[in-house]
A and B are shown apart, each in its own frame.
Chain A
Amino acid sequence: MLTLADVRYRYPGAARDALHGVSLDARPGELHAILGPNGSGKTTLLRVALGLLRPDAGRARIAGRPAHLWPRRELAKIVGVVPQREETAFPQRVRESVLLGRYPHLSLWRGEGAADRAAVTSALERSDAADLADRWIATLSGGEYQRVRLARALAQEPSVLVLDEPTASLDLRHEMDLFELVRDLVDRENLSAILITHHVNLAARFADRVLLLAAGRPAGAGTPAEVLSRDAAERVFEWPVEIQQFDARPQMVPLRKRKDRP
């Protein structure tokens, strides 16, 4: 659905490329994780893939069409994004906030109908937030709010789900919940999910495919087992690690530098 082919992009006035030679192919029924240290170009990749930035070289396509040519409303009907940051200037209830996800399907003249309300309810159920429906956003915890935002993206009825650092400030319980939830949606509904994260191990456990970025360049693309080798990890994360297996998936264990002390 979402493809990048050998994309290069440099921000105006920057000293080096933010992305160089990056390719991506997000297919339905796959959870695609994008990993890399801070500043490796993960968010830039997202912007190029969604047509917000135009690549200097290479191609970014969505459903076969160049990404930057998609009108935003049309795009919002097929791609649901949960961005890193969001503002809450005005108080709102959860149901109203999730309803915003239906806006790509509404027009000025067409108000919300029964179908839209049903979509909202369904989205809340699928993201395990049905019990939060009438709460005020300001009263939600971090984990609850994240589920609401996921519900909003699901209310768009997208074919592609994109999540940018969705578990950045969540505790373990909510992190695992969210990853399980996304995995579930990919499996049951055949969505294509792209998940940007820096939790290497969780990505390795849940993802079908991984793209590892370092300073804007691909340092590995393929299954977690193919990408997460000791050499690759040490090079990208600049720290000695050991790779162990858990659940038939590679897990990265960082080593201590001072081995003489317990």
Chain B
Amino acid sequence: MGLRPHRPHLAGVLLALAACRGAGHRQAGPSAIVATDDAGRRVALAAPARRVVSLSPAVTELLFALGAGDRVVGRTHWCDYPPQVSAIPDVGDGLNPNVEAVSARKPDLVVLYRSPMDATAAEQFDRMGVASALVSQDRIEDLARAARLLGALTGRAAAGDSIADALGALLSAPPPFPTSRVAFVVWDNPPMVIGAGSYLDQLATLAGARNVFHDLAAPSATVSLEVIAQRDPDAIVVLSDSGALPSWAHRPEWRTVRAVREGRIISLAGSLFARPSPRAALATAELRRRLEGAR
């Protein structure tokens, strides 16, 4: 028999395959979705995502807010809001994710936090044929963008737009005149404070407070204790779920800071304040209330 008679046949099959692959990209079916994520990558789904693994607590919260909570099939160990997430399987860390655990959930979409480590993971998911999206989530505007992106990807575009618009309104409303000065203290030795690049700094402005370390561009930075004392914030804000005074408040060197001496230390719950969330308006109101209470 020989190869010759099969050759044209083989070529034909190869051409057809090539055509199919090329066509897959171009074939715009009625439910095909294409979007661009925060890293500029193209995310394409044949149909709205039905099995989503969220690798970020903010994203998990957002998906539930979009009404797509029933489609979340995997979440990180750190996801804690809303309470229903505890029923969803835990796939481990969000940063530097466990690719095997994630793919065991058979997702059609994986949403990750945008960082160099996760970019590599996203490539891995792509190679496995699973769509992946990288989202930033440092500030409220990042969350608004994410709401639109995830809304489109889950077929809940209207909900996504609505959340994004609400956040946009929060941001575009003129901020109240700052009536108090705060410092967010994350760690005591060495003293670490929150700077302008962070969500908390944004919240402070929206709540009518001024972050005394707004001049530092980084999200967080180590500063000398004497600088905190000299800038003399009216209140110190810490993130703590227990609400108790941090242990360093009793240390003699911290008592050179007036706010510590006078006991004006505000504890904010981690799940509401540590990351941007659709509840940003609620967070803002809560912060404003606590600041007034500390006056």
Direct contact of A and B (CB under 8 A): no
Show the binding face of A for B, using Cβ within 8 Å.
none
